[in-house]
């Protein structure tokens, strides 16, 4: 058993270094891979899965697109389009559609500052949902006295004590009705807001609270954010995102890396993201250093082991000269080695004379033990492992 002590420290060192190298890249990937970060679901209020192209402030922008930033305010996800904040009520990635409602009209139909519903039509498209604009007219003095019909479309404002009438009407019908249009031109200002398809036919019969409800139900917008590319990326197992260095560019983040379209298509070069390329090269350097250490340890270990073996064999040979063996010429070469091993192990005992037949018996039985022992195979494996 004594010879086993030789390779044990080397074996231990190799194990430790290998374990470090194997576990190191795994830990790194879990921490920084955009694939892992972007697939974590992010929640804000009722929206429990904020995903591409949207991204919450505080999360990496490359998990979404620059124009689709959301902010979570009092558990309400807000999307800013132009000067107005919109509450995000629902998103549906399968049809690339978001349902939004104007935050400034949520509780009060009369905001301090009036804005139309405007959005970048390159990014959002409100057509093909069957929804229609409703016009809200503000500061219309004395119309009710002129035309009692207008009472049906009247709504009041909560702010200021000043008497002013306000009216709403389906935008597309204003110009078809000359009476209405001649009344509404006298108002100070107006804005238009889309309402859902379900409201289109009943909005003109709606009460003021129903008008409020229609505003809170919101309207749909279909987003344009590399939709086709994203669908294909998701189908291939990836997560859609944008390049952190050139945000206009689409990137498909996969477990196997960054790709321009689908997982395992054309790989995207990180292009010099300072922080990441630094940590990447640090990882490579550490891996190389680790590998060098492993090889070094293995080589040194093997060397020490081999030289130790040689020294042992040498001393055994020296000793074997002292031990008088009954047979030196007759026995086969193998027998000599066996005897040496035998003597090495029994060398501490006082020299004794043995008959050749006795030695042969003992040696054979010892040979068997050696053959099954871990010593020989451990040595071999150690050296092979390093190569």
Contact positions toward ligand NAG, by CB under 6 A? 34, 62, 67, 114, 116, 120, 122-123, 160, 162, 189-191, 204-205, 243-244, 257-258, 268-270, 273, 276
Residue 160: strand, helix, or coil = coil
Least Å distance between CB 219 and ligand NAG?
16
CB burial class (10 A; 0-12, 13-18, 19+) of residue 42?
A: buried
Q: How far apart are CA 306 and CA 293, in angstroms?
A: 20
Least Å distance between CB 243 and ligand NAG?
6
Query: Torsion over CA of 124, 128, 129 and 133, rounded to 10 degrees?
Result: 80
Residue with Cβ nearer ligand NAG (123 or 304): 123
Q: Of 247, 240, 246, 249, which Cα lies nearest the Cα of 271? A: 246
Least Å distance between CB 205 and ligand NAG?
4
The residue of the chain with the least Cβ separation from ligand NAG equals 270
Residue with Cβ nearer ligand NAG (10 or 214): 214
Residue with Cβ nearer ligand NAG (33 or 71): 33
Residue with Cβ nearer ligand NAG (176 or 205): 205
Least Å distance between CB 367 and ligand NAG?
57
Residue with Cβ nearer ligand NAG (185 or 291): 185
Write out the DSSP string of 90-139.
EEEGGGTEEEEEEGGGSS-SS-SS-------TTTEE-TTS--EEEEEEEE
Q: List Cα–Cα distances, 95 to 13, 92, 147, 228, in angstroms.
A: 56, 6, 45, 11
Q: How many contiguous H segments (helices) and E segments (strands) does the chain have?
A: 12, 16
**Phi, psi (rounded to 5 degrees) for 161:** -90, -10
Least Å distance between CB 272 and ligand NAG?
9
DSSP code, position 204:
G
Least Å distance between CB 296 and ligand NAG?
29
Least Å distance between CB 194 and ligand NAG?
12
Residue with Cβ nearer ligand NAG (91 or 117): 117
| Torsion 232-236-237-241 (CA) sign | negative
Residue with Cβ nearer ligand NAG (87 or 170): 170
| Torsion 50-197-118-217 (CA) sign | negative
């Amino acid at each position: 058993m004594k010879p086993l002590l030789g390779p044990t420290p080397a074996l231990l060192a190799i194990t430790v270094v290998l374990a470090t190298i194997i576990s190191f890249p795994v830990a790194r990937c879990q921490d920084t891979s955009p694939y892992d970060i972007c697939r974590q679901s992010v929640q804000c209020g009722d929206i429990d899965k904020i995903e591409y192209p949207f991204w919450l402030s505080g999360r990496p922008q490359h998990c979404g697109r620059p124009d689709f930033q959301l902010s979570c305010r009092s558990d309400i996800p807000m999307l800013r389009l132009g000067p107005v904040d919109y509450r995000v009520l629902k998103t549906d990635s399968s049809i690339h559609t978001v349902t939004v409602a104007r935050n400034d009209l949520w509780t009060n139909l009369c905001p301090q500052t009036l804005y139309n519903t405007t959005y970048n039509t390159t990014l959002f498209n409100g057509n093909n949902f069957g929804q229609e604009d409703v016009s809200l007219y503000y500061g219309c003095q004395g119309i009710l006295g002129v035309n009692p019909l207008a009472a049906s479309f009247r709504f009041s404002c909560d702010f200021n004590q000043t008497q002013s009438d306000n009216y709403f009407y389906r935008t597309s019908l204003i110009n078809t009705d000359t009476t209405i249009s001649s009344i509404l031109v006298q108002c100070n200002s107006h804005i238009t807001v889309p309402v859902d398809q379900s409201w289109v036919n009943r909005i003109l019969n709606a009460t003021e609270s129903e008008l409020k409800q229609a505003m809170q139900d919101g309207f749909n917008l279909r987003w344009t954010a590399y939709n086709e590319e994203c669908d294909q990326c998701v189908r291939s197992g990836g997560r859609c995102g944008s390049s952190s260095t050139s945000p206009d560019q689409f990137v498909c983040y996969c477990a196997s890396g960054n790709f321009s379209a689908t997982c395992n298509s054309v790989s995207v070069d990180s292009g010099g993201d300072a922080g990441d390329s630094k940590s990447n090269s640090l990882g490579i350097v550490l891996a190389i250093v680790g590998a060098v250490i492993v090889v070094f340890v293995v080589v040194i270990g093997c060397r020490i082991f081999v030289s130790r073996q040689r020294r042992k064999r040498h001393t055994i040979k020296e000793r074997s000269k002292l031990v008088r063996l009954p047979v030196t010429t007759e026995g086969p070469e193998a027998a000599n080695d066996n005897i040496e091993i035998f003597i090495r192990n029994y060398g501490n005992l006082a020299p004794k004379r043995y008959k050749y037949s006795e030695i042969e018996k003992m040696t054979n039985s010892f040979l068997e033990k050696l053959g099954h022992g871990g010593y020989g195979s451990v040595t071999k494996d150690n050296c092979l492992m390093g190569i």
